[in-house]
Chain A
Amino acid sequence: MKKTKVIVGLGSCGIAAGASKTYNVLEAILAKGEMDFELARTSCIGMCYKEPLVEIQDEKGKIIYGDMTAETVEGILKSHLIDGKIDLNKAVFAEEQKTPEDSFFEGQVKIALRNCGYMDPESLDEALQHDAYKAIKQIIQSNRSQEDIIQTMIDSGLRGRGGGGFPTGLKWKFAYQNESKQKYIICNADEGDPGAFMDRSLLEGDPHAVLEGMMVGGYTIGASQGVIYCRAEYPLAIKRLNIAINQAKAKGLLGEKLFESDFSFDIIVKEGAGAFVCGEETALIASIEGKRGMPRKRPPFPAVSGLWAKPTNINNVETWANVPWIINHGAEAYAAYGTAKSKGTKVFALTGKIKHGGLVEVPMGVTINDIIYKLGGGIQGDKKFKAVQLGGPSGGCIPAELGDTIVDYDSVNATGAIMGSGGMVVMDESTCMIDLAKFFLNFTQEESCGKCTFCRVGTKRMLEMLERITDGKGEDGDIEKLENLAHQIKNNSLCGLGQTAPNPVLTTLKYFRHEYEAHIYDKKCPAKVCKPLLTYTIDPEKCTGCTVCAVKCPTNAIDGSRKQIHFINQETCIHCGECYNVCKFEAVMVD
């Protein structure tokens, strides 16, 4: 009989939810000798909302339990291993049995994430069992031509998953056609979008897939050196990448004269130092060269003159992870998924006011509603779905009315948002769209490298206008000024950061103009978020005269003695909301 295996999900989010403590408890149980099992680890399977996750593999099959904290894990393990009971209500996945969470996996197609959560990311042996390095080995040993591989990539329809959506095969073709003794392959792992963590999960869960993808790219364009530019905020991803590189080198899968051929390939990891603009390819190259990460004019494109002025091909983490799968399964298998112009699958990080937050991979062409209601389980607290923000600070908001929009590059672009790298932040009626636009603009304004005037000064001026509006000082004509400036910034900025920075404002203006008008003309915030626009009053019917609000009020704006109905003096009230937070009788009303 095969030994029972207990596997803990140790991705960054699992660890944040307490998975390391769960792992320690399991180690202690093992040391006591009451139960016998093999303890192992894996990475994120995408189900962040049920972390920490523990998987048990025994003769009953494979079962994953959710919410396995240090406190609950022992009980569930005992009932499973000793009493032989499977608690399906606590399970999130069970082979051949239904669990309450099955809807999260239905409709997902895992290509880029094929191994994430299914193997130990720090074990090369397990990766090899999951077909790692099969594609590059096959290419080299069959002496496949570079043109043929490029054609396969073009036929697969794979487009850049970092957000640009440029056909990967064509990109490779340009870098291949430029003759040079030295060329470079770069993996862009500078995932800076707030609200996106697809690349991090991929690097933590299946680093070998990314390395292999880069090797295939290197073989095709004729490069012998690869660089992974990873943001320093992802220490676990960097650690696992370095482990994977060393393992592959030790086994002769990476390095000189691979698989007895003339092809040599080496990969190094460069840590970013915290600059959002370095996600832009020319800024990223400048940063690798040790300079300030400022973008430059294109052309020349990196395919002609990139890192150290040599032909360079840059793709994002998710793109690279797709490559070995396409080589192994063929272009047709990949192109079978998706829509006419957007093939394959896309990974999304589902966050915000959603019940089932996590990482999902879906075929292109599913609708936004499908993702939110079927996979995501709907909105937290069953509130009303208001909008979804796609593409981070460069993207835009898609309102609930357009929930039937299908997810592919062209349909998403048509709404004014962009596909981006795959952050999907869901918002309910309690989110103020102007506050959100202000949030994104504050981010891009701070991250602007300062090279172009429109981006540097323009975003600052837009932010100031939005701040005025949310402070209740908006004036007639502000909306038109915002629109005018937004278009100027879009048209006159050098790189993607500036060209897309006004998108959150433009899309919220397009779909939620009435909210801007309510802020400016009625001095009201419909979502009750912008504090200067709120009025706090006390409901005399509900007030019990407990004095808690009067004691807490920082400006002594609340009058009333014990067991008397209280009253808020609007002139001294600073709208801090403290009385609303402390009232136990819901007597403080906000308008």
Chain B
Amino acid sequence: MRITRIAETKETILAVDADLSLMRPLLEKYGKKPGSLIPLLQGTQELYGFLPPDALKAISQATGIAPADIYGVATFYAQFRLSPVGKNIIKVCHGTACHVQNANAITDALKDYLGVNDGETTTDGEFTLESVACLGCCSLAPVMMIGENTYGKLNGKSALKILKEIKSQLLTDKPKAEK
């Protein structure tokens, strides 16, 4: 049971900015189809990166499903987030194979470096650190995923090195993007 993921008030204020018109095609596609709540929530999360409360209300209006039921489903599944996440999600695998190959050392090193706990986002909003059950690359254990890329056969040091490289890459890319 994942009751720990209830959004805090501070974060709900952010959600007011969510542009709900983006959801229109999604609601048209799934709105009246039975059994479509999970695809609806998945689609919504894809749009906003998380599930803004207003979006959940919009889903309730379009489908007629009670907000409580929607909230129940959204909090049941690990995939759904009720608060915004960082631009880059770091998923450290803690499956069995990674565990016996010391995945804890990776999480510890990253926690230390980023100054966040498991499941938290850095204050600059760049990185979210997450532990996941299994990424399915067990023979490359221990592994982590940053964005779409998977990195294998890691230890604390090499994981940190990769993260630092990505961070410096982001810093050099930034000024370009602003121009």
- Check A273–B139 contact: CB distance below 8 A: no
**Contact residue range for chain A?**
35 or more
- Check B79–A195 contact: CB distance below 8 A: no
Residue A217, interface by CB 8 Å: no
List chain B residues, Cβ under 8 A from A349.
Answer: 138
Our pick among B41, B69, B94, B140 for the contact of A194 (Cβ within 8 Å) is B94
What's the nearest-Cβ distance from chain A to residue B79, in Å? 4
Residue A427, interface by CB 8 Å: yes
- Check A423–B36 contact: CB distance below 8 A: no
List chain B residues, Cβ under 8 A from A353.
Answer: 100-101
What's the nearest-Cβ distance from chain A to residue B48, in Å? 16
Cα distance, A578 to B34, chains bound together (Å): 55
- CB interface residues, A 286-301, toward B, < 8 Å: 287-294
CB 8 Å contact bits of A379-408 with B (1 = contact, 0 = none)? 000000000010010000000000000000
List chain B residues, Cβ under 8 A from A48.
Answer: 137-140
CB 8 Å contact bits of B96-112 with A (1 = contact, 0 = none)? 11011100000000000
List chain A residues, Cβ under 8 A from B77.
Answer: 272-275, 293
Residue A63, interface by CB 8 Å: no
- CB interface residues, A 198-241, toward B, < 8 Å: 200, 232-234
List chain B residues, Cβ under 8 A from A197.
Answer: 134, 136-138
Of the candidate stretches A9-17, A148-156, A337-345, A484-492, the one touching chain B is A9-17
Q: Which residue of B lies closest to A294 (CB)?
A: B76
What's the nearest-Cβ distance from chain B to residue A458, in Å? 14
Our pick among A273, A288, A431 for the contact of B41 (Cβ within 8 Å) is A273
Our pick among A195, A290, A352 for the contact of B38 (Cβ within 8 Å) is A290
Residue B55, interface by CB 8 Å: no
List chain A residues, Cβ under 8 A from B69.
Answer: 291
Cα distance, A233 to B77, chains bound together (Å): 13
List chain B residues, Cβ under 8 A from A288.
Answer: 35
Residue A263, interface by CB 8 Å: no
CB 8 Å contact bits of B56-80 with A (1 = contact, 0 = none)? 0000000000000100110011111
- Check A456–B1 contact: CB distance below 8 A: yes
Query: With A17-B140, A192-B133 in contact, do A292 and B96 touch (Cβ < 8 Å)?
Result: no
Residue A507, interface by CB 8 Å: no
Q: Which residue of A lies closest to B40 (CB)?
A: A290
Query: With A352-B100, A358-B139 in contact, do A293 and B1 touch (Cβ < 8 Å)?
Result: no
Residue A560, interface by CB 8 Å: no
Residue B37, interface by CB 8 Å: yes
Q: Which residue of A lies closest to B145 (CB)?
A: A16
Residue A45, interface by CB 8 Å: no
List chain A residues, Cβ under 8 A from B35.
Answer: 288-290, 308
Query: With A290-B37, A436-B100 in contact, do A13 and B133 touch (Cβ < 8 Å)?
Result: no
- Check A357–B42 contact: CB distance below 8 A: no
Q: Which residue of B lies closest to A442 (CB)?
A: B94
Cα distance, A440 to B94, chains bound together (Å): 11
Most buried by B among A194, A287, A431: A194
Our pick among B42, B100, B136 for the contact of A425 (Cβ within 8 Å) is B100
- Check A200–B99 contact: CB distance below 8 A: no
Residue B85, interface by CB 8 Å: no
Of the candidate stretches A93-101, A443-451, A538-546, the one touching chain B is A443-451
What's the nearest-Cβ distance from chain A to residue B60, in Å? 13
Cα distance, A191 to B136, chains bound together (Å): 10
Cα distance, A352 to B39, chains bound together (Å): 35
Residue B141, interface by CB 8 Å: yes
Cα distance, A352 to B36, chains bound together (Å): 39
What's the nearest-Cβ distance from chain B to residue A481, in Å? 24
Our pick among A193, A274, A456 for the contact of B78 (Cβ within 8 Å) is A274
Query: With A17-B152, A389-B96 in contact, do A448 and B1 touch (Cβ < 8 Å)?
Result: yes
- Check B152–A439 contact: CB distance below 8 A: no
- Check A357–B139 contact: CB distance below 8 A: yes
- Check B100–A13 contact: CB distance below 8 A: no
Residue B123, interface by CB 8 Å: no
Query: With A12-B137, A16-B143, A195-B138 in contact, do A273 and B96 touch (Cβ < 8 Å)?
Result: no
Our pick among A193, A273, A308, A358 for the contact of B42 (Cβ within 8 Å) is A273
Query: With A288-B35, A291-B73, A456-B1 in contact, do A233 and B136 touch (Cβ < 8 Å)?
Result: yes
Residue B84, interface by CB 8 Å: no
What's the nearest-Cβ distance from chain A to residue B146, in Å? 12
Cα distance, A416 to B141, chains bound together (Å): 27
Cα distance, A446 to B1, chains bound together (Å): 6
- Check B1–A271 contact: CB distance below 8 A: no
- Check B134–A194 contact: CB distance below 8 A: yes
Cα distance, A291 to B140, chains bound together (Å): 35
- Check B141–A351 contact: CB distance below 8 A: yes
List chain A residues, Cβ under 8 A from B89.
Answer: none
Residue B158, interface by CB 8 Å: no
List chain A residues, Cβ under 8 A from B76.
Answer: 275, 292-294, 449
Q: Which residue of B lies closest to A425 (CB)?
A: B96
Q: Which residue of A lies closest to B143 (CB)?
A: A16
Q: Which residue of A lies closest to B65 (CB)?
A: A290
Most buried by A among B2, B37, B77, B100: B100
Residue A49, interface by CB 8 Å: yes
Query: With A16-B140, A273-B79, A357-B139 in contact, do A351 and B97 touch (Cβ < 8 Å)?
Result: yes
Query: With A271-B39, A389-B96, A425-B97 in contact, do A233 and B135 touch (Cβ < 8 Å)?
Result: yes
Cα distance, A15 to B136, chains bound together (Å): 12
- Check A194–B96 contact: CB distance below 8 A: yes
Query: With A290-B36, A456-B1 in contact, do A275 and B140 touch (Cβ < 8 Å)?
Result: no
A16-B152, A195-B134 given; 6 more Cβ-contact pairs under 8 Å: A13-B136, A13-B139, A191-B136, A194-B133, A353-B101, A431-B100
Q: Which 3 A-B pairs give the minimum distances between C-beta atoms? A: A48-B139, A357-B139, A194-B95
Q: Which A residues form the contact surface with B (CB < 8 A)?
A: 12-13, 15-17, 48-49, 51, 191-197, 200, 232-234, 270-276, 287-294, 308, 349-353, 357-358, 389, 392, 423, 425, 427, 431, 436, 439-440, 443, 446, 448-450, 456
